[in-house]
Structure formats: C-alpha cells, structure tokens
Chains A and B, each alone.
Chain A
Amino acid sequence: MNEASIQFRKVSLDFKLANQGAITSFKEWAIRRLTRKLSYRKMRALDHLTFDVPIGATLGVVGDNGAGKSTLLRIAAGILQPSEGIATMRGEISPIIELGTGFEFELSGRENIFFNGALLGRSWSDMNDRVDEIVNFSELGEFIDQPIRTYSTGMIVRLAFAIATTVDPSILLLDEILSVGDQRFQTKCNQRMLGFQERGVTTVLVSHSLSAIEKICSSCLWLDHGQLKAYGPVDQVIAEYLVCVEAQNKGPIPGGAPARATG
C-alpha cells in the first residue's frame, strides 16, 4: 500500500503574464508588437513541489487564497503541464469537482450523466448501469430530466459528486465543495469518502474549511505562495498553519476552534 498514487518531483509552474495588462485581441497584440511594447513577466504559481500521496490516502490542501491550491489540483488532474519537474499520477482521475462544474446547461441532468461518463471514457451502456445509483445518491428525483440551468448550486454539486464518485475513479479531486449542501448531505458525502479510503481511492481535497479537512483527511499539505510549507499528519500541519495565520492576524482565533481560515 506504500506505492505512490500521486507523485510530484520538483514541480514548478509559471504563468506568463503580459506587462500592462492581459492581451485579449489580435489588434492589441499587433499594435504592442509594432510599438515594441510587448513584454512578459513570469508569475511563479508553484515552486519546486516534491511530495508523494500514497494509494488510498486522503490529502487535504490548505493555504491562503492565491497560494496555488487549485493550480496544484489542476496539475494532479493532468490538465496543466508543469513548467519544470515531473508529476506522475497512477490510475484513473476524476474530473475536478468544484462549484460550477462543467455541465451542459441546456441538456438535462440525465443526459449530462452520460456526457460526463463519456468524458471519463465510459461507454453509454456502462453509464446506463450506473444511472439509477447516481440519481438516487444525488437525491434529484424528478429534476433529473430537467435542464441543468434550472438547478440550484447545491443540486449541481450533488450531481457532480454523485457522478464522479459512482464511476469508480482511482483518484478523486475536490475543490472547495464540501461546504455546499445541507448538513445531512455533507454527512452522506463524508461517509462515502471514508468508504473510498477503505477501497484504496486516493483523494485530494482543497478546502478553506479546516474542520472538514480534519474530519476526512489523513494527511495535509500546506501551501504558501506556491511553496510547500508543511506536509504531514493532518493535526500537526493544521496546528502549524493556524499558528502562522494567528501570527499574521496578530490576534487570537475566534472561538478557539479552527472553524474557517481567512483568506
């Protein structure tokens, strides 16, 4: 069980930004090029990250806004290519589940189940076998045949979570979604995620909700301005993170309990 499911080796990522604002039109690009006002600077989003996530581990990722948490998730999803270093993921990766997940808004929930299945390389008949389970878990009932645009945010996240977790991925990536939905659905999600740990599914969870991370995750990674600040057992890393947040805020954490870190 010690084999790594996700392996980062000195992974860095730079974004190339145009000076004096982003260029969105060809006209602007051509004019700046002709007047020699075209210059770029690099913004380092991730800086030499090296870590392993063992198979079946649930990793929480914490850090302030802009620390690179979502970027890390996108490299783990294979969407972004590092500028330096190597990232290796073993197994099938679920789409990143986050608010406003990539659904076709004009198609119904049911049609989107098949479309999402195809995204994951699942055939139509394969998804047909799972569609009832997805509908049941998402608790959408008769709404499943309505277009997605009529759904509330919570319903969309429920559907996305139900699809991604029903198709049996070996790597599950979650971006700040566990704060959505009522308490009962959150509990249901947590149970399903604990079940995943037993079945050897590797999960990476990005969240500002430290209590959610403490509840579900076995280990935690703390990112600060793209750098790995700490990686280890969840209580330890969160304690360190809180000390740092406290020092920055120069004040006590309200209520003492790690409810929510400010960005």
Chain B
Amino acid sequence: MIDSSTTVLVNAAEHRVGTIEELRDLARHSHLLASLVRRDLTVRYKRSIIGFFWTMLNPLLLMIILTIVFSTIFKFEGIEPYAVYFLSEYLVFGFFTQTTVTSMTSLSWNGGLMKKVRVPKSIFAISTTISGLVNLCLAYIPLFIIMLALDAPIRPAVFFLPVAFLIIGVFTLGVSFFLSALAVYFEDVSHMYQVATIGLMYMTPIIYPISIIPYKFLWLVRGNPLTHLFKLARDPIYLGQLPAMHVIQASLISAVVSLVVGWLVFHRLSRNFYQHL
C-alpha cells in the first residue's frame, strides 16, 4: 500500500524548488483537470443546444449593434465586411476577458476545496483556460457561417488558427495566474480589472482599424501586447493570409513573458493563500 511515489514532503525550504514539484503534482492530477474542464462545460452547455446558441447571442447582438453604428454613422474606410473584421478579434477578446475574470473567481470559489485536500493551486487557472479555449473554438463556428452568408472567402490560412489560439491561450493563462493570485489577497482587484478591460478594449484595434489612431497615441496601441496577439486570429480570417513574421514573434515573446511572470507571482503568493481563502 505504501508507495514511494505518493510520499508528500512539506518543508520550509520547499518553495525554492517548488516549480518542478508543482508541475509534477499537476501531472499527477490529470484526472482532476479533466474533471474540472468537464464540469465547466457541463454547467455551460447543460441546456444543450440552447446553451450553445446562448453563448453566441451576446457577441452576435453586439456585432449587429456595432455593424449598424459603424457602417452607417461612423464609417471606417476600407473595412469590408465589417462583421468579419470585428468578430474575428472580438471573439478572442471575449475569451481573454472571460477566462481572466473567471479564473479570479474560481480560485476563491474553490477555496473550500483547497482547505481540505492537497491540490496544485494552479490547476484552477489552467482548467478555466482550457474550457475557455473549447468555448472559443465553438464560437468560431457561427463566424464561419456568417462569412459564408456574407460571401467572404475562407482561405487555407484558417489552419493557422489553432496555433494562434494556443499562443493567445498561453498569454491568457499567464495573466490569469497573475490576477487570480492577487484576487485572493484583495477582493477589489476584480472590480478594478473590469474597468481595466474596457480600457483595454479601446486600446486594441478591435472595433476600429489601427489607421485611425493619431500618431501621438500610436505607441500606446502598438505597445499593447493584445494588438499583436489578436492579429494572429484576425489575419487568417479577415485578410485570408498568415500573420507577418514580426507579429508572430512579438506575440510569442508576450506569451512567454506573461506565462513566466504570471507563474512566478502566482507561485510566490500561493504559499500564503490558505490564510486568505
């Protein structure tokens, strides 16, 4: 019955080698990860087909409003079809905000669990990101239908999308680690973040083309990592071509930096989570 692989050693110096230990712990909990993702998706799509369309309703309604506003009142030159331009990034933005916000709450919701059994604390952000990616893939199906309806061409570059989603997913996971760790300590972080997401949305060329940004603010939009990251998902759909190499490079760097910083902060703060949950 005693198996050396299940020996748990906790000591005061553990945090110095903790990253490898936590990764090993995560691998041991693969069943739990699958269970958490299944739970997220069950809750979301429990009402089967209605649940699926319901999740699409919000971006679709917003798209209708914005299409009307921006194709009749404020016109952007040369964006055609606007719905494809907007939705190809807005869906990814929705994934980003929803995943980061959900991982903040999921950590405190699962606080009861973490007080009873040893689980790798990072598992909640990871499972939230994975279920978010599944939702994102499903959300692209209606976009393809819209493209067919609008006679917009679907080119082979769409096969780049899984890579794009993966890079965006890694970036999102890093941000989720960072924010969820802070949210355990400070309950107002999630309120502040919700305001910040509105700012982020306008700092990223999602509803407008980057060409309308005045020169003196261009650095703000260009320096925003989301600008490059979301372009990974837009170019294969809207332009029908692979993103430029410098866009891919910038995105990869952002994703890796986000993951490393997010993980380090999470790992450092997670030692004292217990007191705050």
Interface residues of A (CB under 8 A from B): 3, 5, 15-16, 23-27, 29, 55, 74-75, 77-98, 100-102, 104, 106-107, 114-115, 117-124, 168, 170, 199-200
Contact = CB atoms under 8 A, between A and B. Distances in A.
A180 B12 CA distance: 36
Interface in B181-230: 182, 185-189, 192
Contacts of B192: 26
B113 interface: yes
A87 B9 contact: yes
Interface string B94-134: 00000000000000001011111111000000000000000
B8 A93 contact: yes
Contact of B35 (A93, A95, A100, A118): A118
Contact of B29 (A86, A101, A121): A121
Given A81-B14, A88-B9, A118-B31, 17 more contacts: A24-B187, A25-B188, A26-B188, A77-B118, A79-B274, A80-B274, A82-B10, A85-B12, A86-B12, A90-B4, A102-B113, A102-B115, A106-B43, A115-B39, A123-B31, A170-B2, A199-B1
A26 B189 contact: yes
A89 to B, nearest CB: 4
Contacts of B48: none
A121 B2 contact: no
Contacts of A3: 2
A168 B6 CA distance: 13
A91 B3 contact: yes
B11 interface: yes
Contacts of B6: 90-92, 170
Q: Which 9 A-B pairs have the closest CB atoms?
A: A95-B117, A118-B35, A26-B186, A78-B118, A86-B11, A102-B113, A25-B188, A78-B8, A95-B116
B24 to A, nearest CB: 13
A29 B32 contact: no
B268 interface: no
Given A25-B186, A84-B12, A79 B115 contact: yes
Contacts of B116: 77, 79, 95-98, 101-102
Contacts of A120: 117
Nearest to A175: B116
Interface string B140-168: 00000000000000000000000000000
A119 B127 CA distance: 14
A3 to B, nearest CB: 8
A115 B31 CA distance: 9
16 contacts: A25-B187, A26-B189, A80-B10, A81-B11, A81-B12, A86-B9, A86-B12, A87-B10, A88-B9, A89-B10, A91-B1, A92-B6, A114-B35, A118-B35, A119-B113, A119-B119
Majority DSSP secondary structure for residues of A touching B: loop
Interface size class, chain B: 35 or more
Nearest to B275: A15
Most buried by B among A81, A83, A86, A90: A81
A90 B186 contact: no
Nearest to A97: B116
B15 interface: yes
A118 B188 contact: no
Interface of B: 1-4, 6-12, 14-15, 28-29, 31-32, 34-36, 39, 43, 110, 112-119, 182, 185-189, 192, 271-272, 274-275
A16 B275 contact: yes
B14 A119 contact: no
B188 A86 contact: no
A96 B114 CA distance: 10
Nearest to A81: B10
B53 to A, nearest CB: 22
A122 B32 CA distance: 8
Contacts of B10: 75, 78, 80-82, 86-89
Nearest to A71: B274
A75 to B, nearest CB: 7
Contact of B117 (A77, A100, A104, A168): A77
A52 B275 CA distance: 27
Nearest to B119: A119
A30 B2 CA distance: 49
Given A26-B186, A81-B10, A119 B117 contact: yes
